[in-house]
Amino acid sequence: MSSGTHRAEWKRLPSLPDKEGFAAPFAGASNGALLVAGGANFPDKKPWHGGKKVWYDGVFVLENPEGEWKTVGKLPRPLAYGVSVTHRDGVVCAGGSDTDRHYADCFRLEWKAGKLVTTKLPSLPKTVANACGALVGDTLYVAGGQEKPDAKEALLTVYTLDLSNAQAKWLEEKLPERGRILAVAASFEGKFWIAGGAELVANKDDKVERRYLKDAYFHEPTKGWGRCLSLPHAVVGAPSPAPVDKTGFYILGGDDGSQLTATPERHTGFNKKVLRFDSKKRDWVETGELTAPRVTVPLVAWNRVWVIPSGEVRPGVRSPEVWRFAPK
């Protein structure tokens, strides 16, 4: 890994109208507005005090950066931990979970003439949550994840759907090497990239543990998979899809596994390091630190900047803050 001097400008946008904020909502841009939908949090007690996680179905819209969030509708059900991307004038949402199960649903949200419009899309071949995904051209990739809440291994599947074709069906690829959850996805150079995440491994007591990963790969639609230089450290749950520029893409912090043994009260928050894949050097470059590290949160391109709407500050703790990130 080499070092770099890229700088970034961080700025607060209006906070979501929820005192806790959400982990893993769906988010994207639609007809100039920012949409955030669903998500999960612990509204009463924290998990280490016996608190129960709650899933939500509310949809919020922010029509301009100086405006106020409005509640404008509901998802088909309470839902979180799915994949969401901006496609043309809508937000495509795939998979996810609620308190009981995982889902294969796929649908499009659009903010149109002051109303929320929800359109059903073809369901995924399997139920999937905790996957990552990105849009390469008009093709949506949904990679890895878990089929069920109690799954003892992560999915090796990569599903693709051509969103430009109303008659298209999901196609299936396989990840190289191993399945993974909560990886980072990127769309760069006309390819789909996937980095890090966590492998699920059953130990001798049949308890499922997470093995933190730092390997990275890319998929070319006509050539298949290639391997990229591994990350300098493990990355799980970083904002995804990753922000890109003309010569690389960024990984914004994430959980590097360094505090896995820390008690909740002693957890100091997630990794602040910003990594950038430099396409000329084909290397990872460390390019500064995050102002507000967050995990399990989508990233949205909106008004020529990148937006992180809510997310986890540390395990069990969310934030309603919304931050914009502009590489310089």
Q: Which domains does the chain have, with CATH numbers?
A: 2-327 (2.120.10.80)
What DSSP string describes 232-254? SS--BS--BSPPEETTEEEEEEE
CA distance 110 to 89: 7
Q: Are strands 271-278 and 248-254 parallel, antiparallel or unpaired?
A: antiparallel
Residues in the chain: 328
**Residues 138-188 pLDDT 10s:** 999 999 999 999 999 999 999 999 999 999 999 999 999 999 999 999 999
CA distance 60 to 73: 7
Task: Tell me the pLDDT band of 7, cut-offs 50, 70 and 90.
Answer: low
Q: Tokens 């495509």 map to which residue?
A: 92
Q: Tokens 């995990």 map to which residue?
A: 295
Any residues with CB less than 8 A from the CB of 248 and at least 6 apart, and which? 188, 276, 277, 278, 279, 285
**Residues 91-115 pLDDT 10s:** 999 999 999 999 999 999 999 999 9
Joined tokens for residue 82: 């799915």
CA distance 77 to 63: 24
